[in-house]
Structure 1
Amino acid sequence: MLEKFIALVAAWIISVISTMGYGGIVLLMAIESACIPLPSEIIMPFAGFLVSKGEMSLLGIALAGALGCVIGSIPAYYVGMFGGRPLAERYGKYLLISKRDLDWADNAFAKHGQLIIFLGRMLPGVRTFIAFPAGVARMNMSKFIIYTFIGSFIWCWLLGYAGMKTGEHWEDLKVYFHEFHYVIIGAGIIFLIWYVRRHFKQD
């Protein structure tokens, strides 16, 4: 069932890019960066395949992808700031989020926000949602946009390059990305266990 759904999503992505070109890449990557899990691991490698056919340029698709990421991240950032922040302050205790945790996040983004966003933009899964906590922590907007663009450009360029090199076999890349997703999920579970234990130790 999941494989059929992914196949339908992939077909739609291919259709959008084939029809809209660079504008399609901007649109799709904006959706992916607005906390909607549309796989950039399909979007950019397919665009890279079109580069191998001479229909697009590698620099062009990387710029289009990075621009889309910035566009999609801005509303997600503000949702985190104006929606997520008040909810976290009021109801966070029910999700084991204390005032101390929010202060820690604010401090982390204030001191290391550039690095968090830069690296987060190159991690599958994480990159889709990273704008929301940046908004909750009220990271400096100018820095948020700059490092979102830089990290996204590198990610889009690498995926596009991989798609360009594999050519007609670009879809084979999905297997490797799925395996990496398991690593990210495993790391997330470990962090969650550590976070819950830390919370109860504080109490």
Structure 2
Amino acid sequence: MSQFADVFLEFIDQWGYLAVAVLMGLENACIPIPSELILGFAGYMIYIDRMTFIMATVAGMIGGMVGSILTYYVGHLGGRPFVDKYGRYFFIKKSHVDIAQEWFDKYGVKAVFFSRMLPVVRTFISLPAGFAHVDIKKFIFFTFVGSLPWTMLILAVGMMLGEGWKVMMDVGHEISIAFCVIMVVIIAVLYFRYKKKKDKRRQLK
């Protein structure tokens, strides 16, 4: 898909938020269009005052959510045999589905949240969630709360890098892994603080 990068960038340049939404929808439907390319360039467009951060976030989230939900229903209705048989026609690699399946088998529906910040599994996790017939409301919730910080992060980095936004294409995977680790640490700290306060309340009763 790298050979089409200029086409995608031209699409965003011409159509702005609509293009961001469409491309993020395709990316979350397992079409290999790097979100670092889409959101990184959108961040650059914010830098040159062609977009706003809020509207770019909204466009990215709408596209990402629609693509994720469609992919979920492909897994939900077609199952693994359907994806294994026809997935290759839509650039879906069996090895990528296997990775996402391993994550889902290990962490369950929570994997939908954490995987949104990790390379490869970020888009493919919708399929095993569909295979497992996860409750659609839970799927949408975990997809949203996992995708929002990632979308905002990549837009912000692209905006801060300005003319040098393409650096993200080389270090995007490292950024996503580091961000996921930071998120896990923050959640763990908040959880233990909550648990500590809850224990204190019980002792006072």
The CA RMSD measured in Å over matched residues stands at: 2.8
1:1-203 equivalence runs, <5 A: 6=2, 8-85=3-80, 109=108, 113=109, 115-177=110-172
Deviation at 1:150, TM superposition (A): 2.1
Given that residues 48 and 58 in structure 1 are in contact (C-alpha distance below 8 angstroms), is that contact kept between their aligned partners in structure 2?
Answer: yes
Call closer, same or farther: CA 1:116–1:64 in 2, change over 3 Å: same
Given that residues 67 and 149 in structure 1 are in contact (C-alpha distance below 8 angstroms), is that contact kept between their aligned partners in structure 2?
Answer: no
Q: Distance in 2 between matches of 1:182 and 1:52?
A: 25
TM-score normalised to the size of structure 1?
0.71
Deviation at 1:171, TM superposition (A): 0.5
TM-score normalised to the size of structure 2?
0.70
Call closer, same or farther: CA 1:41–1:78 in 2, change over 3 Å: same
Q: Distance in 2 between matches of 1:158 and 1:182?
A: 12
- Secondary structure at the aligned position of 1:163 is classed as helix
Q: Distance in 1 between matches of 2:56 and 2:127?
A: 25
Deviation at 1:108, TM superposition (A): 5.1
- Secondary structure at the aligned position of 2:117 is classed as coil
Aligned AA for 1:160? L
Deviation at 1:58, TM superposition (A): 1.2
- Secondary structure at the aligned position of 1:54 is classed as coil
Deviation at 1:155, TM superposition (A): 0.8
Deviation at 1:44, TM superposition (A): 0.3
Call closer, same or farther: CA 1:11–1:132 in 2, change over 3 Å: same
In structure 2, the gaps of 5 or more residues are 84-93, 95-100, 179-205
Given that residues 106 and 138 in structure 1 are in contact (C-alpha distance below 8 angstroms), is that contact kept between their aligned partners in structure 2?
Answer: no
Given that residues 117 and 151 in structure 1 are in contact (C-alpha distance below 8 angstroms), is that contact kept between their aligned partners in structure 2?
Answer: yes
Q: Which moved more, 1:47-56 or 1:170-179?
A: 170-179
Q: Distance in 2 between matches of 1:76 and 1:132?
A: 6
Which residue of structure 1 lines up, in the alignment, with residue 87 of structure 2? none
Q: Distance in 2 between matches of 1:46 and 1:146?
A: 27
- Give CA deviations for 1:39-83 in whole Å, capped at 9, x if unaligned: 001100100001011111112111211111110111211111121
Q: Distance in 2 between matches of 1:106 and 1:139?
A: 12
Which residue of structure 2 lines up, in the alignment, with residue 186 of structure 1? none
- Secondary structure at the aligned position of 2:30 is classed as coil
